[in-house]
Every structure is written in structure tokens, then in C-alpha cells.
Amino acid sequence: MKKSVIKLENVWKIYKMGNVSVNALQGFSLDVREGEFVALMGPSGSGKSTAVNMIGCLDVPTKGRIMLDSHDISELHESELAQIRGRKIGFIFQQFNLVPTLTAIENVMLPMIFQGVPETVRVKKAKELLELVGLGDRLEHKPSELSGGQQQRVAIARSLANDPEVILADEPTGNLDSKTGANVLEFLEKLHHDENKTIIMVTHDQNLAKIAERIEFLKDGRIVKSTR
């Protein structure tokens, strides 16, 4: 059996709002193994956003354990966690989250800076990644000079900058038209099949989830159903 890349065990996330406690996650468990393509589905208010933060190790649970590459993240210092997260997980967001003042190539180079990659290597790798997503002629364009689909492809290139094991895609086609969205999904499938990347895609769209090998359904902060 392939090794677990990210494992969440009975994770609770409780937010305090004045005197009120909000249980965003209530016993959420998920085991994602090397090379899997998993879709996480759920209606609005089901806890998807909190689950993304937990799966991406961007936050620590109130209760329960999150294991990233055999490390319990609650026992790591933030600097250690940032280093491991930066190497292990590539993020693709619905809002693209590109830095507006940076060019496409500078946006892709950014995660490599935090990992201490030398500049010559950063430039070469960023060029190769932008060519891979079909943007070799847009290296010096800023986000405002790119279409939504092109911005999402820059975001995909950036997510691959440190050659992560896991791509975490949060509603990756949510801001795109259907044709451009289909191209983005095709690219994620290619990464999964050709590069053996582990992909976790969060979506509310049943049609998108169909390309995954496994669909986990989230309701009221926990997994209620799993299908293959």
C-alpha cells in the first residue's frame, strides 16, 4: 500500500466568536496516499474552507492530529512547518492569489525564494514551468495584462515551483468560463497521470469531481460519504 502523504485524524476546529463557539470541523478524518486524485465536495457552510486550511497545514486543529509526511504539524515551529509545507504542497486558489505588482515569471519564482533556491535556478525553472502551461510568451506580463485563464495557468506553474508531492486545488475553475475551466482540469489530470502528482481538489461541482479517483463528501464539518 502506498504511503500516506497527508493524514487528518478526528480533527476539530472550533472558532470562538465572543461567547459563541462555532464548530467548523467536527471529527474530520481524511487519509490521502501518494499518487491519489481526491475530490472533496460539500455544500456552502459544510466546512470546506476550514478543511482546505487544515489539509494545506495553514492552520492547526483545536483537537485531533494532522500528519504531514509523518510529522505531527502541531509539534512543529511555524518556521519548520512553513519549510515542509513549501516543499510538500503546491496551492492553486480560486482567486489565483497572484502578486499584482510582479510579472508572471516573478510570481512563479516566489515560492523558490522562500526555499533558498539560487536565482539562476529560479529563473530557469520558472521559464520552463510557464512554457509547460503554454505561457512562454507571457513571462514579463503582470496579472492585470493576462486573462483569467492565463492567470490560473500562472498559478498552476507557481504551484509546481518547488516540485511538491501534493497539489491542493481550491475551486480551481470557480472564476473561469467552462472552456477555460476544462483546460485547467485537463492539465491537473495530466499532472496526476504523467507526473504522478497527488492531487486534492475541493469543489462544489459534481461534474468536476468526476475526474477524481475518489470523492469525499463533507457535511457539517465531517466526511459523511466516500465513493470511488
Q: What is the pLDDT of residue 60?
A: 87
3-state secondary structure 42-108: CCCCCCHHHHHHHHCCCCCCCEEEEEECCEEHHHCCHHHHHHHHHHHEEEEECCCCCCCCCCHHHHH
Mean pLDDT by 10 residues, the chain (228 residues): 90 92 94 94 89 90 89 85 87 89 96 92 95 92 93 92 91 82 85 90 82 92 91
CATH number of this structure's domain 4-227, picked from the four choices 3.40.50.300, 3.30.70.260, 3.65.10.10, 2.60.120.10: 3.40.50.300
Model pLDDT, residue 132: 87
Chain position carrying cell 494532522: 66
What is the model's pLDDT at position 9? 95
State the pLDDT at residue 217.
94
User: For position 93, what pLDDT does the model report?
Assistant: 85
What is the per-residue pLDDT for 114? 86
How many Å separate Cα 166 from the centre of its chain? 7
pLDDT at 69: 77
Q: What is the pLDDT of residue 228?
A: 83
Kindly state the cell numbers that stand for 124: 530557469
Q: What is the pLDDT of residue 34?
A: 92
CB 50 within 8 A of CB 58: no
Check residue 63 and give its pLDDT: 93
Domain ranges of the chain: 4-227
Distances (CA, A) of 120 to 1, 76, 124, 125, 138: 39, 31, 6, 9, 19
